[in-house]
Structure 1
Amino acid sequence: MTAGPAGAGGFPLLAEIGAPAAVRALPPERLPELAREIRAFVIDRVAASGGHLGPNLGVVELTIALHRVFDSPRDTVLFDIGHQAYPHKILTGRAGAFGGLRQDGGLSGYPSRAESEHDVIENSHASTVLSYADGLARARQLSGEPDRAVVAVIGDGALTGGMAWEALNNLGAEPRRPVVVVLNDNGRSYAPTTGAVAAHLGALKAGAGEGRGAERCRNLFTDLGLAYLGPVDGHDTAALESALRAARALGRTVVVHATTVKGKGYPPAEQDAADCLHAVGTIDPETGRPAPASGSAAPSWTDVFGRELLRLAEERADVVALTASMLRPTGLQPMADRFPARVLDVGIAEQHAVTCAAGLALGGYHPVVAIYATFLNRAFDQVLMDVALHRLPVTFVLDRAGVTGPDGPSHHGMWDLSLLTMVPGLRIAAPRDPERLAVLLREAVATDGPTVLRLPKGGPAAAVEPAARIDGIDLLHRSPCYPLEVLLVAVGPLAGACLEAAALLEDAGIGVTVADPGWVHPVGPALAAIAGRHRLAVTVEDGVRIGGIGAMIAQALQDARVTTPVTVLGLPPAFVPHGSRAELLARAGLDGPGIARSVRRLHAGPAVPPVLGNPATAAAAAVTAAAGRAR
């Protein structure tokens, strides 16, 4: 991917930049012009496609300085999280690909090893980069290449994560490895950075005029044995270059403390106290407001949860809430505004959030831990041993569960069901619509043990009234004119796709029942009885199909000696790329037509035995192949 007139039309200087060598060749007096063009380019492209805006605008001069001082890819520049990597992509020859930013088959919104040799890591979970840097620098040392610098860019928000301090502990123990830690300090992640580390960084910035030098003052980093340079103005390219060259010359692990402004150069983002311009859909580039086509008055799943949680908090003084640096994105802001003492933001520290919640439960409270589904993976041991082992009443609300869309593999919340179904005593709910969300959340908070509520990204569908209810299981549809041949078991919001599939199957003369268990794990005995009255049961979930809800249902039928065969439709055990949620679900065969196609193939084939995980018969293998196209 190379920038050029076609990719950077209207940006004459960017049209000259095809690789970092061109950045190094620019005379210093042209760097402000380059920074202005990068900002204008990012605003223009992100306004059209959506993406991370504020973080990228804040690191323009920093990225220019990095590519002028270090020789990528011989030197390695690593970005923590990676949502600030758009200027890096532009300067490494990918401006021409921004027309497909975060779209199916287009440019990733994060660093991507498949895109460029300048992208070495692509995991976009926070607080990881210093560990990568420590290991890579050790490898360079072992290989006799200590002159190849390793640069790790980490934000002050990510520095609240425990893994970052585990890495600093190791880097400080052997500080002669040449690792340059660039601390991009803008005072916030999604929201203002809080905690003792933030206060310490604030004190360093407040004392910036007291002197300079590698050992200007004693601080956390120097006490760990690291060198420290700064604070330096992160929007002064000359000052940044000077600090980075000095850091490289030290030949040891050094922290360069750069202070930046999130959203720099774009007034709507700079003035965005609520951080709504951290990540955006399509927007009006003049105002930063959502474009008319993308704006919607309808509440999201997150909005509905936030509203219902506030109602519960008003009724019950024992309800408290925790999150890991995501008050607004997980829906906790309304409760925080109303009951600030009962809402805790622990920073980017998911493990601490879960075990702190366990402590609150031990103290007589019912904690609600609101967290993205993909990030709960980081705290699995705490869920298992600190909460479930003690049978504590903690409710986990997993936002962005299942296929999330344009953020790609690291942000799909598709692993939670396979992980959490093995946790003893944990109950899992998946609402199909806002009304069920309210009911299931209330039931979860009333449960004397650990519970999970799973919410997808985006806006919920209209409410679906059940045709009947049997022992807590909602029957959403029963074919009136056909024998009940196929049972579709919908997990949460995939109920809509199952109802669409049922209509298509009835057109083909196949009788269908659509069931929504609500509480999807453990599997209720009534579901086995319902399945026993059908020729075939098909489970539909937007999690990994191995070890997920379908596998649990198949096991439950086997344990109940119900011989109805079960086929599991879900996501393949693979890293699903970025694209829209609708596109990716369709590709996996999890939209209405895809489900109907799979059922027709199975219905036409011979009866098959119940399955545990992947279907093993020829007919079911066809379904597996269809769903596997999401690879």
Structure 2
Amino acid sequence: MKSNLLSNIYNPADLRLLSEEQLPQLAKELRDFIIAVVSVKEGHLGASLGVIELTIALHYVFNTPEDLLVWDVGHQAYGHKILTERRENFHTNRQFRGVSGFPKRAESVYDAFGVGHSSTSISAVLGMAIASKLKGDFDKQHIAVIGDASIASGMAFEGLNHAGVTDANILVILNDNAIGIDPSVGALKNYLTAVKNGKNPRQNNMIKSLNFDYSGPVDGHDLPALIKELNRLKKIKGPKFLHIVTTKGKGLQQAEENQVKYHAPGKFDALTGEIHLKSEENLPPKYQDVFGLTILDLAKKNKKIIGITPAMPSGSSLKFMMDEIPERAFDVGIAEQHAVTLAAGMATQGMIVYCNIYSTFLQRAYDQVIHDVALQDLPVIFCLDRAGLVGEDGATHHGVFDIAYLRAIPNMIIYAPINEIALQNILYTVQSGSLDHPIAIRYPRGRGVVPNWVSENFGNYQKITTGKANCLKNGTKTAVLSTGTIGNNVIAALNELDHPETIAHYDFPFIKPLDNNLLDKILSSFNHIITIEDGAKMGGFGSAILDYAAMNNLTIKIEILGIPDTFIEHGTIIEQQHFCEIDVKSLANLFSNIEK
């Protein structure tokens, strides 16, 4: 009977005590361990299963943590975490105050660089390598593992371009599995496919032309071949590039066959791989589906409508339109800057462009939003999915800064619907010909609040007046001003009060421009104002209200609720809201004290 190898490995030093012949058994145990934990605790599955052999080989060959290893994005780093002193705590993965779902410098010396967004690894590793050389440490190794979807991003090529004219001791490993979260797209994907199939002559290799020592393709699941090649490359100085071919979801049949679904499958049976489906009967729709179904319906009626997403067709639900009207719906890959300027170019020609980008990823294209869209006052429609707190992905993925970073931009309109009906109506309104400025529509991860939205509300469009706010509840003493779906927490909290008549509630979907007429009435009628937003308090919606009061020489008490000036760690959205004191319970307690 074989002994359990994984249980005796605390860190890579223990791993290096094993013989090469024992490593395939360890690979199976590591896969089984990840499957067992993720099947119950949830998380990213397929990416980590695909790099088990590579993970073992890297820590076996290189002297981590002295040698520096960076995993691009970090979806694939579960095996790395388990082998680097976090096996016993891995069951807390992505839970509040538990192990982070992504590599994080504050968590372990083995996490050389914090990641979460794509295509940063090559630049980071190059920076480390140059620093090592300047310090006289010429033997240290610097390794970046990057996927074929991430390497297509502009930043990755910026790093390759610089590295190719240095003598920095770096190794870039291309983990080529032809998929990110959705299948990889673009000409580079086609090129890599040709290389894998032996159809591209080695003398025309584009990586070699950038002055990298290129090797591969190598089977990324062949441990002896990987170890042999890594040992060879370890002795070579300067920039090196290893192309490996892997299968995302390797070792779990369902994950190999349905790689999109098993990227993060939720809970599933560890033995069969069968996903435990949650009943969606009588549940409100996901906001992403409200977007996807609405834009498809609108695009069928308006031939000027175009949809764009950078590598998130499933997550954004633009896939509905891509399946039915592929000539007007584009997945441009992990290329947010390109997506924004592509949309701007189309807008100059009279097209109505819905550019769907997760809030956290629009940060990567801030210059393009300012320079290519707002400066030219082009009516691009930014649909910011996953705005606000996003839960278990944590600090790298929260969409809490968009209000603050967009408010400062001239010509920009910012809208946050309180529910899926308002989202549907603003998506309809902006394509009706009345929009003459860029607009950002921010909506959260997760479900809405109207269970029968599709049967009773879908397609029943109502035009929205720009800059209009609404009174949801009258009151006598305190006015609560909310923006976006966090307003539903206010509604729920007010419903818990014995005497809610003292508190008024106003929904301000337009953060810019504000409804100044209604705001004047509120500021003159109440002696206490509370603002609440699912975004950063610094520079956000509450700050806009404060700015307005200050400009009008008003000294009324204004209390701002929202995301504090800190990075919010991973956990459930409810836990994160509670930490920020914007959950229903915290609001109910606050309002109860006002009642008294």
Provide TM-score, normalisation by structure 2.
0.93
Q: What does residue 416 of structure 1 align with? A: 402
Shift of 1:123: 2.3
Q: What is the CA deviation profile of residues 304-351 of structure 1, one whole-angstrom value per residue up to 9, with x for unaligned ones? A: 111111111111111101111111101100000111011111111100
Q: What does residue 318 of structure 1 align with? A: 304
Q: Given that residues 571 and 588 in structure 1 are in contact (C-alpha distance below 8 angstroms), is that contact kept between their aligned partners in structure 2? A: yes
Closer/same/farther in 2, CA of residues 368 and 471 from structure 1, 3 Å limit: closer
Q: What does residue 448 of structure 1 align with? A: 436
Q: Given that residues 11 and 41 in structure 1 are in contact (C-alpha distance below 8 angstroms), is that contact kept between their aligned partners in structure 2? A: no
Letter in 2 for 1:223: S
Give the one of 466, 472, 476 matched to 1:476.
Answer: 472
Letter in 1 for 2:506: A
Letter in 2 for 1:285: A
Report whether the alignment pairs 1:162 with 2:154: yes
Give the one of 505, 513, 521 matched to 1:522.
Answer: 513
Q: What does residue 613 of structure 1 align with? A: none
Q: What is the CA deviation profile of residues 437-462 of structure 1, one whole-angstrom value per residue up to 9, with x for unaligned ones? A: 11111123341220111111111123
Q: What does residue 296 of structure 1 align with? A: 280
Shift of 1:286: 3.8
Q: What does residue 193 of structure 2 align with? A: 202
Q: Given that residues 126 and 159 in structure 2 are in contact (C-alpha distance below 8 angstroms), is that contact kept between their aligned partners in structure 1? A: yes
Shift of 1:229: 0.6
Q: Secondary structure at the match of 1:52?
A: coil
Q: What does residue 104 of structure 2 align with? A: 112
Closer/same/farther in 2, CA of residues 261 and 471 from structure 1, 3 Å limit: closer
Closer/same/farther in 2, CA of residues 48 and 422 from structure 1, 3 Å limit: same
Shift of 1:491: 1.4
Instruction: For 1:341-356, list aligned pairs within 5 A.
Output: 341-356=327-342
Instruction: For 1:344-493, list aligned pairs within 5 A.
Output: 344-446=330-432, 447-462=435-450, 472-479=468-475, 484-493=476-485
Shift of 1:587: 1.4
Shift of 1:556: 2.3
Report whether the alignment pairs 1:513 with 2:504: yes
Closer/same/farther in 2, CA of residues 568 and 198 from structure 1, 3 Å limit: same
Q: Secondary structure at the match of 1:322?
A: strand
Q: Take 2:271 and 2:471, find their aligned partners in 1: how far apart are those partners?
A: 49
Q: Take 2:559 and 2:593, find their aligned partners in 1: how far apart are those partners?
A: 12
Q: Given that residues 471 and 526 in structure 1 are in contact (C-alpha distance below 8 angstroms), is that contact kept between their aligned partners in structure 2? A: no
Q: Take 1:475 and 1:460, find their aligned partners in 2: how far apart are those partners?
A: 20
Q: Secondary structure at the match of 2:118?
A: coil
Q: What is the CA deviation profile of residues 458-478 of structure 1, one whole-angstrom value per residue up to 9, with x for unaligned ones? A: 11123899xxx9983222222
Instruction: For 1:166-185, list aligned pairs within 5 A.
Output: 166-174=158-166, 176-185=167-176
Q: What is the CA deviation profile of residues 406-434 of structure 1, one whole-angstrom value per residue up to 9, with x for unaligned ones? A: 00100011111110111111111111111
Q: What does residue 271 of structure 1 align with? A: 257
Q: What does residue 320 of structure 2 align with? A: 334
RMSD: 2.2
Q: What is the CA deviation profile of residues 457-513 of structure 1, one whole-angstrom value per residue up to 9, with x for unaligned ones? A: 111123899xxx99832222224xxxx111111111111111133234x52676111
Q: What does residue 280 of structure 1 align with? A: 265
Q: Take 1:156 and 1:244, find their aligned partners in 2: how far apart are those partners?
A: 19
Q: Take 2:558 and 2:12, find their aligned partners in 1: how far apart are those partners?
A: 55
Q: What does residue 233 of structure 2 align with? A: 247
Q: What does residue 589 of structure 1 align with? A: 581
Shift of 1:554: 2.0
Q: Secondary structure at the match of 2:313?
A: coil
Q: Given that residues 523 and 556 in structure 1 are in contact (C-alpha distance below 8 angstroms), is that contact kept between their aligned partners in structure 2? A: no
Gaps of 5+ in 2: 458-464
Q: Which moved more, 1:362-371 or 1:517-526?
A: 517-526
Report whether the alignment pairs 1:307 with 2:293: yes
Closer/same/farther in 2, CA of residues 509 and 197 from structure 1, 3 Å limit: closer
Shift of 1:200: 1.6
Q: Which moved more, 1:561-570 or 1:131-140?
A: 561-570
Q: Secondary structure at the match of 1:554?
A: helix
Q: What is the CA deviation profile of residues 65-107 of structure 1, one whole-angstrom value per residue up to 9, with x for unaligned ones? A: 1011101001011100011000101111211112211111111
Q: Take 1:416 and 1:108, find their aligned partners in 2: how far apart are those partners?
A: 23
Q: Given that residues 73 and 119 in structure 2 are in contact (C-alpha distance below 8 angstroms), is that contact kept between their aligned partners in structure 1? A: yes
Q: Secondary structure at the match of 1:180?
A: strand
Shift of 1:557: 3.3
Letter in 2 for 1:341: E
Give the one of 217, 239, 243 matched to 1:231.
Answer: 217
Q: Take 1:422 and 1:151, find their aligned partners in 2: how far apart are those partners?
A: 39
Shift of 1:281: 2.0
Question: Structure 1 vs Structure 2: percent identity of aligned residues?
Answer: 38
Q: Which moved more, 1:388-397 or 1:528-537?
A: 528-537
Q: What does residue 460 of structure 2 align with? A: none
Shift of 1:602: 7.1
Q: What does residue 222 of structure 1 align with? A: 208
Q: Take 1:389 and 1:11, find their aligned partners in 2: how far apart are those partners?
A: 65
Q: Given that residues 444 and 452 in structure 1 are in contact (C-alpha distance below 8 angstroms), is that contact kept between their aligned partners in structure 2? A: no
Q: Secondary structure at the match of 1:25?
A: coil
Q: Given that residues 173 and 244 in structure 2 are in contact (C-alpha distance below 8 angstroms), is that contact kept between their aligned partners in structure 1? A: yes
Gaps of 5+ in 1: 1-9, 211-215, 605-631
Q: Secondary structure at the match of 1:192?
A: coil
Letter in 2 for 1:360: M
Letter in 2 for 1:296: E
Q: Take 2:280 and 2:5, find their aligned partners in 1: how far apart are those partners?
A: 37
Q: Secondary structure at the match of 1:230?
A: strand
Letter in 2 for 1:196: A
Shift of 1:280: 2.7
Q: Given that residues 502 and 514 in structure 1 are in contact (C-alpha distance below 8 angstroms), is that contact kept between their aligned partners in structure 2? A: no
Letter in 1 for 2:193: G
Q: Take 2:441 and 2:11, find their aligned partners in 1: how far apart are those partners?
A: 46
Q: Secondary structure at the match of 1:280?
A: coil
The number of equivalent residue pairs is 579
Q: Take 1:365 and 1:186, find their aligned partners in 2: how far apart are those partners?
A: 35
Closer/same/farther in 2, CA of residues 346 and 525 from structure 1, 3 Å limit: same
Q: Take 1:11 and 1:529, find their aligned partners in 2: how far apart are those partners?
A: 74
Q: Given that residues 123 and 410 in structure 1 are in contact (C-alpha distance below 8 angstroms), is that contact kept between their aligned partners in structure 2? A: yes
Q: What is the CA deviation profile of residues 204-224 of structure 1, one whole-angstrom value per residue up to 9, with x for unaligned ones? A: 1111898xxxxx543111111
Letter in 1 for 2:438: P
Report whether the alignment pairs 1:137 with 2:137: no
Q: Secondary structure at the match of 1:541?
A: strand
Q: Take 1:207 and 1:282, find their aligned partners in 2: how far apart are those partners?
A: 39
Give the one of 163, 167, 181 matched to 1:190.
Answer: 181
* Larger relative contact order (Cα-Cα within 8 Å, sequence gap ≥ 6): 2
Q: Secondary structure at the match of 1:250?
A: coil
Q: Take 1:360 and 1:554, find their aligned partners in 2: how far apart are those partners?
A: 37
Q: Secondary structure at the match of 2:207?
A: helix
Q: What does residue 7 of structure 2 align with? A: 15
Q: Given that residues 494 and 540 in structure 1 are in contact (C-alpha distance below 8 angstroms), is that contact kept between their aligned partners in structure 2? A: yes
Closer/same/farther in 2, CA of residues 208 and 76 from structure 1, 3 Å limit: farther
Report whether the alignment pairs 1:126 with 2:118: yes
Q: Take 1:470 and 1:365, find their aligned partners in 2: how far apart are those partners?
A: 21
Q: Take 2:549 and 2:113, find their aligned partners in 1: how far apart are those partners?
A: 43
Q: Secondary structure at the match of 2:204?
A: coil
